[in-house]
Structure 1
Amino acid sequence: MEDLNWPAEWLRGVLTPAVLSVVSDGQTYGYLIAQRLAAAGLGTVKGGTLYPLLARLEQDGDVVSTWREGQGGPGRKYYSITPGGRQHLAALRADWRVFAERSTAVITGGKEHS
């Protein structure tokens, strides 16, 4: 699939659950999160967008971070999802399914939800 330049407002809406989903796969760091999002077809997520989101997720208790010294290079901050973050992600996924179904129906001219 070709890389598309998604509208910024679309990415803002999907970035929190997408980042939590990536972090839920196991301890990871910012650059690798951005690579996984790009590989999934979401495009390039810049550090100026990603790191404030990770800080907010940490402040909200959805992720925790640990600092690891680098071996021959700079250290990295690794992120892990918390039990509360897993619950939040499960709720976001459930809500996303309903939202995607309803918005797709409206956008494609399907039946509106009543």
Structure 2
Amino acid sequence: MLKGLLEGCILSIICEKEVYGYELSEKLHEAGLTMVKEGSIYPVLLRLQKNGWIEGTIKPSVAGPDRKYYRLTVKGEQALQAFDDSWEQLSRAIAYLRGSLR
């Protein structure tokens, strides 16, 4: 279940501002997704790039090697909106079921 949600979470973070991989990992952990390992983020980023939802740009870093920063594309904004719509529908259904089963 986390796999599909992880894409939406990553798109949500990138929507706010350009981020690089490790920074993305930190933001996921800050949000409470501590089960997401840094190494599992990069395959998702690659898939999001192949889908045309994000773009990466190499930028110099003041603290070490260059970093690849990711930003949302127009297709990525549309994918994030679709994720938000699906999440809202799923949340309503679960809330309904939880309420009706008590």
* TM-score class, shorter: 0.7 to 0.9
Match of 2:78 among 72, 84, 87: 87
User: Unpaired runs of 5+ in structure 2?
Assistant: none
- 2:100 alignment partner, one of 97, 110, 113: 110
Matched pairs, number: 101
Q: Which amino acid aligns with 1:38?
A: H
Q: How does 1:1-114 map to 2 (within 5 A)?
A: 9=1, 11-106=2-97, 108=98, 110=100
Give unmatched runs, 5+ long, in structure 1. Answer: 1-8
Greater strand content: 2
Question: 1:3 matched to which residue of 2?
Answer: none
Q: Percent identity?
A: 35
The TM-score, its normalising length taken from structure 1, stands at 0.79
Q: Per-residue deviation at 1:72?
A: 4.6
Deviations 1:6-40 (A, max 9, x none): xxx4x223101000000000111111111111111
TM-score, normalised by the number of residues in structure 2: 0.88
